[in-house]
């Protein structure tokens, strides 16, 4: 923990010392309480914001739960939430693969469209949700591959949906739009963290289908229209 805190402090100091505002920085708008309704009048902003909420439920559920799921899958017992070095390694691979998924999604989004990539990413991660119960107790190599694919897909839509919100929202209310998008998701993720403190061995194996919501793919895909 101390090394992580030290690195965070160094990173903050570098931002203060080195990073400067770019040439396209927009001036701050005066507070306008009606901006919330103005932002949601735009269909693209509304759909991208709503489309962001479902994946956030899944994303933080996966990150919080995958170590317990993998440990239970490997046959580890003991305690309310199974844990093991192998399960932690699977969680590391799952979360780390998100960097690859995000970079790849950004590269393709610039070429074939943000909404399309977001919809594809949500479709893949949704399929992983549905398949999670079937890979429980699968051989370790298969479980690792599954976790890496899920980790890459589950995070790949987030940046695309935020970019869509910024793209569709009124120019003088981009900050408001992004706040509306991320604030409910932040509350949602902490609620999810609280819920995920409760899983036990049986839940890890048999409750894997709870994160999958078929309606989660529709909002982002409609933004393309």
pLDDT of residue 161: 87
Alpha-carbon distance 97 to 84, whole Å? Answer: 20
Residues with pLDDT less than 70, the chain: 1, 26-29, 31, 77-81, 184-225
The reported pLDDT for the residue numbered 197 is 46
Predicted confidence at residue 28, as pLDDT, reads 67
Cα–Cα distance for residue pair 175/220, rounded to 1 Å: 20
Per-residue exposure over 97-113, b if at least 16 CB sit within 10 Å of its own CB, e if not = bbeebbeebeebbeeee
The confidence score (pLDDT) of residue 80 equals: 57
The answer to whether 101 and 151 are in contact (CB under 8 A) is yes
Q: What is the pLDDT of residue 189?
A: 53
pLDDT at 147: 95
The CATH number assigned to the domain holding 89 equals 1.20.1250.20
pTM over 0.85: no
Give the model's pLDDT for residue 151: 94
For residue 184, the enclosing domain spans 35-73+84-223
Number of folded domains that form the chain = 1
At 93-149, the pLDDT tens digits run 999 999 999 999 999 998 999 989 999 999 999 899 899 989 998 999 999 999 999
Evaluate whether residue 79 is within a structural domain: no
Provide the pLDDT for residue 168. Answer: 81
The answer to whether position 24 is within a domain reads: no
């Amino acid at each position: 923990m101390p090394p992580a805190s030290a690195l965070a402090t160094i990173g903050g100091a570098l931002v203060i010392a080195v990073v400067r505002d770019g040439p396209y920085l927009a001036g701050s708008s005066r507070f306008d309480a009606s901006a919330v309704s103005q932002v949601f009048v735009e269909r693209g902003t509304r759909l991208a914001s709503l489309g962001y909420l479902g994946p956030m439920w899944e994303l933080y559920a996966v990150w919080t739960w995958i170590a317990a799921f993998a440990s239970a899958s490997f046959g580890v017992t003991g305690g309310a939430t199974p844990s093991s070095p192998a399960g932690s390694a699977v969680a590391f691979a799952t979360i780390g693969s998100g960097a690859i998924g995000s970079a790849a999604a950004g590269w393709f989004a610039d070429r074939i469209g943000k909404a399309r990539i977001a919809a594809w990413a949500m479709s893949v991660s949704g399929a992983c949700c549905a398949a999670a119960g079937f890979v429980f107790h699968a051989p370790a190599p298969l479980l690792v591959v599954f976790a890496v694919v899920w980790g890459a897909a589950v995070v790949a839509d987030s940046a695309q949906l935020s970019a869509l919100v910024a793209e569709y929202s009124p120019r003088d209310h981009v900050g408001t739009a992004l706040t509306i998008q991320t604030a409910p998701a932040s509350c949602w993720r902490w609620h999810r963290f609280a819920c995920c403190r409760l899983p036990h061995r049986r839940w890890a194996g048999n409750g894997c289908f709870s994160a999958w919501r078929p309606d989660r793919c529709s909002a982002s895909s409609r933004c393309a229209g």
